[in-house]
Amino acid sequence: MPPRIRKLVGLLAILAFLVAWAAGAVAIADRLPDHPAVSLLFFLVVGTGWGLPLFPLLSWMNREPKPNR
């Protein structure tokens, strides 16, 4: 797959993932107990945790194309 197409597919996947992640975070946050410590811990995990699932996609997007023989 050419690098430009791979990056376009990756961009669309990242946008879809982030929309789903944010919607899930909001849905879960509405059900949390009303305590500041719980909210802090939840939003720390959710706010930093979105990047971990994206590492494989980002490495796939930035992989060098295989040379033609």
Q: What is the pLDDT of residue 41?
A: 95
Residue at 66 is within a domain: no
Domain enclosing residue 15, as ranges: 3-61
Domain-embedded: residue 68: no
Judge whether 22 lies within some domain.
Answer: yes
Answer yes or no: is 18 within a domain: yes
Distances (CA, A) of 17 to 20, 25, 36: 5, 12, 27
Query: Is 32 within a domain?
Result: yes
Tens digit of each residue's pLDDT (9 = 90 or more) over 18-62: 999 999 999 999 999 999 999 999 999 999 999 999 999 999 998
Residue 24 lies in a domain: yes
pLDDT at 3: 85
Q: Kindly tell me if the per-residue pLDDT of 65 is higher than 90.
A: no
Number of domains the chain is built from:
1
What pLDDT, on a 0 to 100 scale, did the predictor assign at position 63?
Answer: 86
pTM, two decimals, is 0.80
